[in-house]
Amino acid sequence: MAQIVGCINTSHVPSIGKALAHGLQKDPYWSPFFDGFPPIHQWLAEVKPDVAVVFYNDHGLNFFLDKMPTFAIGSGPQYINGDEGWGQPDYPPFASEEKLAWQLINHLVDHDFDMTICQDMMVDHAFALPLKLLFPKQSPCPVTTVPISINTVLYPFPSARRCAALGRTVGDAIRAWDSDKRVLIVGTGGLSHQLEGERAGHLNRDFDTKFMDSLMREDPSWIEQFSSEDIIEQVGTAGLELIMWVAARNTLRGPVREVMRNYHIPISNTAAATQAFAPL
C-alpha cells in the first residue's frame, strides 16, 4: 500500500518566485525565509517522495467568478503553470499521477466529498512555487503531482472543520491505494495576510503561532472551533489560505514530529511561514 512520508505547509507569495529566479536567497530581505529550506531539502532527500498531493487555492486563473468549485481535483495528464503577476516563471509542465488522482476521486466521492473533476487544469503560483521551493535544483519537478484546489476566493468558503475532514479522507484514500509509491503532502498559502482594503497589511503573529503550535499536536483540531469569518477577522482575508494547511496536516493520522518550522514577517506584507511534519 502507498505510504505518506510527510507533510509540508508553506506560503506561496509570488515574489518568492522572482527571488528564486534571480538567486536572491542570501539577500538580507530574503534569507530569513530561504534559510529555513536546507533542512527540508535534506529531509526530502532521505524520505524520497515519488508523488506530491498539493492542496492549494487557485487565485482566479483556472476558476473565475463565474464558476467556483469549493473543492476541485486534477485528473489530467499534466499541469501547466499559467501564473499571474510578478512575471511568469518558466517552469516546465508538472507531471500528473493519474492513477492516484482517480483513487482519490473515487474514494472522496464514495465518502461524500463531491469533487469537481478537472481533466484540464491550469495551475498558478500557489501550486508551482512551493514545488520549486522544495526542489529548487531539479527541472522538471522530480515528483508526479495531484492538485487539489480549495476555494478561498468567493463566498461562501468551506470551514476549517470541513477542510480537516477532506484531509483525513484524502489521507485514508492514499493509504488504501494499491501502490508502493511514497507520497508527500503539500499545503500552500498563508499565513496571516490581507493584500487589499482598509486592513491591507494586517498580520497576526500571535494567532499564527497558536495555529502552528496546534498542528503539532496529535489532535490538530484547535482551528476547527473557528468559522471562516472568525479566521478572516484574525488573520486577514487572504490569511484564510491557512485552510490548505489544515487539509494537508489532517492527512496524517497519529502523533507527528516537527521536521522544521520557520516564521518570518514580512514578505510582500505577508507572514511567510513553513512547517513540515513527519509521521512518528
Catalytic, 111? Answer no
- Told to check if 237 binds ligand DHB by CB under 6 A, we report no
Terminal-residue alpha carbon distance, the chain: 18
Binding mask 84-123 for ligand DHB (x = CB under 6 A): -x--------------------------------------
Pairwise CA distance, residues 14 & 114, whole Å: 30
Half-sphere exposure of 38 (CA within 13 A, CB side): 5
Closest by CA position to 264, among listed 205, 180, 196: 205
Considering the complex, state which of residue 85 and residue 92 has its C-beta at the smaller distance from ligand DHB.
85
Pairing of strands 94-95, 116-118: unpaired
Residue 172: all three cell numbers together:
485514508
Q: Residue 85 or residue 136: which is nearer to ligand DHB going by CB?
A: 85
193 given a catalytic annotation: yes
As given in the structure block, the three cell numbers for residue 44 are: 526530502
Query: With binding defined as CB under 6 A, does residue 209 bind ligand DHB?
Result: no
- Indicate whether 240 belongs to the interface with ligand DHB (CB under 6 A): no
CB 228 within 8 A of CB 239: no
What's the one-letter identity of residue 97? E
Pick the closer one to ligand DHB by CB: 12 or 181. Answer: 12
Q: Does residue 130 touch ligand DHB according to CB under 6 A?
A: no
Say if residues 13 and 139 touch (Cβ distance below 8 Å): no
Residue from 19, 33, 50, 59 touching ligand DHB (CB under 6 A): that is 59
Residue nearest to ligand DHB (CB): 268
Catalytic residue, candidates 12, 59, 125, 264: 125
Catalytic residues: 125, 193
User: Which residues here bind ligand DHB, judged by CB under 6 A?
Assistant: 12-15, 59, 85, 189, 193, 195, 238, 241, 268, 270
